[in-house]
Chain A
Amino acid sequence: MNRTFLLQQVLNGLAIGSVYAIFALGYTLIFSVLRIINFTHGAIFTIGAYTTYALTGSQFGINGLLAGAALPFGFPFVLALLGGSLVAALCGVIVERLAFRPLRARGADPLLTLVSSLGVAVALVNITQYLFGAEPYSYPDPLQGLPSAINFGTAAAPVLVRTVQVVIFAVSMVMLVLLTYLMNATRTGKALRAVAEDMTTSSLLGIDTDRLVLLTFVISGFLGGVTGTLIGLSVGVAGPYFGIAFGLKGLAVIVLGGLGDIPGAVVGGLVIGLAEAFVPAQYIAYREAVPFALLFVVLLVRPQGLLGRAQVQKV
């Protein structure tokens, strides 16, 4: 196979994959601490994207209740990104307080929490659609001055990757390092892992489990919001339902990597990105099925995922 082609596909795969990876980091973090799948992560993703858009002072289109609305001021992109992600984090916390906390207090089955999160996600996404319509939006370009693409090949055989995708990959690596450092090398991380093991015992040992759960949702929501904006930057904001699509795909990513495994989220994301990139041209239409086919197979063959440990079932 042509080396240039191969390199191009690999880089494309890593580019797609790194977006999945950042999304999955937040998704899997919640599972690692609370043993629940928080499907609202996709809705948070949407909220982050839309809030960032609003914060850049851009105007919303002709559909939706807030048609034509725009903030009277606009922030530079990076600030808008931070603001949007903080709002997303806040939404995550609100969802936690209202929907998940009561279930956790009752010791409800994680399945019930999954169902609840599905409902909340669908409600939030549809509220967004009700307010802003489903038109596509794009952000004002923050990378002016930088070349639009970086060449990883040669002048004769160029292998181009869009600068924004390189930035996203870099962000995903930074996030992975930061989260791994947090979980393994800080006291907070240790406390989080204790809570993940056994919440009741941790709380009896004096760990403020409530605050830690809050922190988990803040980090996760923030990451979700960041992903939403980054994807919006990369391919545009394609309607609120994009969050649901991501939420569904994200399931494949975190199961493949290993539920609750933080490096696994990145591995899973990159693997699925590469798998999608390497779909042969004649099957390109089936690309969207690839993550789900992988999910199905992984569930049957190795449900703990690539990096997870096999679960011992206690009787």
Chain B
Amino acid sequence: MSGAPGPAADPLPAADLLTVERVTCQFGGVTAVNEVSFAVGRGELFGLIGPNGAGKTTLFNLITGLTAPSGGHLRYRGEDITGLPPHRVAKRGIARTFQNVRLFGELSALDNVMIARHVRTHSGLVSGVLGLGPARREEHETRERATALLALVGLADRPEERARNFAYGDQRRLEIARALALEPELLLLDEPAAGMNAGEKRALSELIRSVRARLSLTILLIEHYVPLVMNLCDRIAVLNFGQLIALGPPALVQKHPAVVEAYLGDGA
């Protein structure tokens, strides 16, 4: 695990960036996530797989604060972030994309990315409206960074196009650009390859690798397309019915009996 140190030297005892500690989530009578524990190391590309309804997206929602866990703890850079609201989690450096793309459809691609610069900028209402010097410079910088991010994901040609007009695969890349605008340390990608053809999947794979290297990111990836996960990820966690049934490098996980059973059922 490489690990370029974070923005400031921080006294993390281990190299773990994210620790999921016996996290449980119950809705009414359903236990969506059941005492799941694992840790993600700095700079890892960590995969999360499992059959539909296994609780993967719920786990993402728990980590990012969209849902509060009914039990357990979540630690990020050593800090307990359990129960923090989403905007505070984002501010601490965790960004995500959504399973069903949640772009700001009516807004332009550039606006979508610029909006996500919010936590890394400071101009308030008054200075913004008055157009004071620092606010103007910040506005300019926001625009430039957003444009650069669009170029990074290959969407530099249509910055003013409304997000909802983009093809599905491009929307997913736009969502990644938007998430990157937060300057996160931890990036959560929820099925980023869904709806993509083989060529797009390859390009996405490349994008994830290059983004991780260039921006020193730690990435947590939910994906159904198994070859992508096996190729990209350093380690994989497998969920089934809300429980962690396997954890380890791709080669080992692939052969794990519980994993095989989960995917193929135990009719075999």
Binding site for B on A (CB under 8 A): 312, 315
Q: For residue A101, give the distance in angstroms from its CB to the closest CB of chain B.
A: 26
A67 to chain B, nearest CB (A): 51
Interface check B28, CB cutoff 8 A: yes
Q: Give the 5 A-B residue pairs with the shortest CB-CB distance, closest first.
A: A315-B66, A315-B61, A312-B27, A315-B67, A312-B28
Name B residues whose Cβ lies closer than 8 Å to a Cβ of A.
Answer: 27-28, 61, 66-67
Closest CB in chain A relative to B84 CB, distance in Å: 16
Contacts of A312 in B (CB 8 A): 27-28
* Chain A hits for B28, CB < 8 A: 312
Distance (whole angstroms) from the CB of A255 to the closest CB of chain B:
23
> How far is the CB of B115 from the nearest CB of chain A, in Å?
20
Chain A contact residues, majority secondary structure: loop
> Roughly how many angstroms separate A297 CA and B67 CA in the complex, as a whole number?
26
- Chain B's closest residue to A312 (CB) is B27
Residues of B within 8 A of A315 (CB): 61, 66-67
CB of A250, distance to nearest CB on chain B (Å): 31
5 contacts between A and B (CB under 8 A): A312-B27, A312-B28, A315-B61, A315-B66, A315-B67
The answer for the CA separation of A312 and B58 in the assembled complex, in Å, is 14
* B63 nearest CB across to chain A (Å): 13
Q: How far is the CA of A315 from the CA of B55 in the complex (A)?
A: 13
* Distance of A184 from chain B, by nearest CB (Å): 22
Q: How far is the CA of A315 from the CA of B58 in the complex (A)?
A: 9
Min Cβ gap A313→B in Å is 9
Q: Which residue of A lies closest to B27 (CB)?
A: A312
Min CB distance B108 to A, Å, is 23
When chains A and B are docked, how far (Å) is the Cα of A249 from the Cα of B233? Answer: 59
A312 to B67, CA, bound (A): 11
Q: How far, in angstroms, from A315 to B67 measured CA to CA in the complex?
A: 8
Bound complex: CA of A141 vs CA of B66, how far in Å?
60
CA gap between A312 and B66 in the complex, in Å = 13
Write the chain A residue with the least CB distance to B57.
Answer: A315
Task: Report chain A residues within 8 Å CB of B27.
Answer: 312
A315 CA to B62 CA, complexed, in Å: 11
Bound-state CA distance A315–B27 (Å) is 12
Bound state CA distance, A312 and B28, in angstroms? 9
Task: Return chain A residues, CB-CB under 8 Å to B61.
Answer: 315
Chain A: minimal CB distance from B247 (Å): 25
Question: How many Å lie between the Cα of A312 and that of B30 in the bound state?
Answer: 12
CB distance from A112 to the nearest CB of B (A): 16
What's the nearest-Cβ distance from chain A to residue B254, in Å? 31
For B67, what are the chain A residues with a Cβ–Cβ distance below 8 Å? 315
A313's nearest neighbour on chain B, judged by CB, is B67
Closest residue of chain B to A309 (Cβ to Cβ) is B28
Docked pose: A315 CA to B66 CA in angstroms: 8
Name the residue on A nearest B58 (C-beta): A315
List residues of chain A with CB within 8 A of the CB of B66: 315
